[in-house]
A and B are shown apart, each in its own frame.
Chain A
């Protein structure tokens, strides 16, 4: 009897494991669910017209210009420390990411469900998850924005650019607001990247390499794809690793901090160049041959591999730990992270050489 019970238990256990494994492939998200989630995302924007309005950021026209109300508008100025980047970097990044998502969601949600490959289904699952994560972070942002504006409406007096009147409370509210803003921007960039992955998985990009004749519209698709793939380079460093994790400006000024400051300035210069070349450029696109399109995609594939090393270097360097636990002292930090110098050099190499080399080559080909 005991033996029968043991055998029965083992049998049920094996069956359960097999069932779980078998069912593991089920549960792919449907296109209608993704459509629904995109609609709900759109509703969030439409329900908050005082937050997301139509306007221009850095020469880019968009429906995602963040507004703060009259009082804070007087603070959101490049000359007031801590505020300048809200428009230059945060909002600009959000606008670029949102533009790509909006441009391509119609294509994605109108794919034929029965024709989807397993790769595309996998990417769609990821995309769906990104939509909901992004929507949640917008909700958080809306709350923090309200708190931020309320503080200024009730407690803060206007501070003119150039006046130094430190306000610990104001800075605390600003940092908290920027973190929720940064999280929202990071999620928008993630959504943009995941959208690009879905596009890639549908092999529409392969069609551009093989079908003739090609048109300027095809070059536009290529340009937008590259633009989407490049965007995380800027947001991951400036926003996710620096702004979202610490008060970088308040860290101990050492030779290493100066080096990273220079790197951030170079990154910002690269971001300006990226916007000029891939977002606001009015130069005419060329009609590329299939061979040229293949060449551009090959270059891009290689560049993406280099970008992965760049991201690994960002994570490996762990600037937050370097700054907070080691006061930006690289010599001490090396005892704890023996590859830190290598990671920092890789970041410098990527931002100052690899990134501009790639961008120049692409620009030369597509315009």
Chain B
């Protein structure tokens, strides 16, 4: 009889604990802190910081190796991946400054893990590439022979860094548009900028061995997302001409191509 009661009480206790955990998870306030911290660590301390060891080492290496590669397509690939990397450093800094001021949405729930996963993989690729460059440069004293032939071993790391970073930002733009609370820093213009950056990045991925695509992405991002260009976005909500142009582009009404080309070149108003 005592044993029977003990089992009943034990079962009730287990059910109570399970229900408590379920209710806590159902009703706890959800926030975007996790991704905000992740972005911050990658942008401030990780490979997307232009003062980090990874960034400097990788870019110095790519600058060195570019003229030594014989194949035009290989050179184009190096340049496209390097310019894309630089573009996402700017993009990442912009997002990092705003993302801590955001709210939880369904888009966040659906896509944030993907972003974090891709950032993590990109960071690992950057670390591996940096280590490989450092170790082997030390061993061979940085000879031109080593440099020219090292690309075969470095290429995969760089491609992984490129692919994972593009994947991360493809989703990050959507999350930003859905979650960031400031109407000044999150509006139709920023949404258009992120969509266009995504299109240019996809274009670079599809045509990675053709020169110029990565540079287009980098120039575009520099036109809108650098601190020096901040006023373009800050003043957008009061600029009816810019708002009209954004509407023409997004709805692709008559004459949109010409306005779009000016937009790509940094002139939205």
Contacts and interface: CB of A to CB of B under 8 A. Distances in A.
B146 interface: no
A361 B182 contact: no
Interface string A324-343: 00000000000000110111
B37 interface: yes
A346 interface: yes
Contacts of A305: 181-183
Interface residues of A, number: 21
Interface stretch (A38-46, A51-59, A308-316): A308-316
A302 B230 CA distance: 18
Interface in A167-188: none
B96 A306 contact: no
B182 A339 contact: no
A102 interface: no
A307 to B, nearest CB: 10
Interface stretch (B10-18, B166-174, B233-241): B233-241
A313 B101 contact: yes
Nearest to B96: A342
Given A306-B183, A306-B184, A354-B184, A342 B97 contact: yes
Nearest to B238: A361
Contacts of B221: none
Interface in B208-267: 230-231, 234-235, 237-238
Contacts of A299: 237-238
A156 interface: no
Contacts of A343: 100
B184 A302 contact: yes
B100 A316 contact: yes
A277 B40 CA distance: 39
A342 B230 CA distance: 15
A305 B186 CA distance: 11
A345 interface: yes
A308 B181 contact: yes
Contact of B181 (A309, A341, A342, A357): A309
B183 A302 contact: yes
Contacts of B184: 302, 306, 354
A114 to B, nearest CB: 35
A33 to B, nearest CB: 33
Contacts of B269: none
A339 B97 contact: no
A305 B102 CA distance: 11
Contact of B182 (A306, A316, A342): A306
B38 to A, nearest CB: 11
B36 interface: yes
A353 interface: yes
Contact of B40 (A309, A338, A349): A338
13 contacts: A302-B184, A306-B182, A306-B183, A306-B184, A309-B181, A312-B101, A316-B100, A339-B36, A339-B40, A339-B100, A349-B230, A354-B234, A357-B234
Interface of B: 36-37, 40-41, 44, 96-97, 100-101, 181-184, 230-231, 234-235, 237-238
Interface of A: 299, 302, 305-306, 308-309, 312-313, 316, 338-339, 341-343, 345-346, 349, 353-354, 357, 361
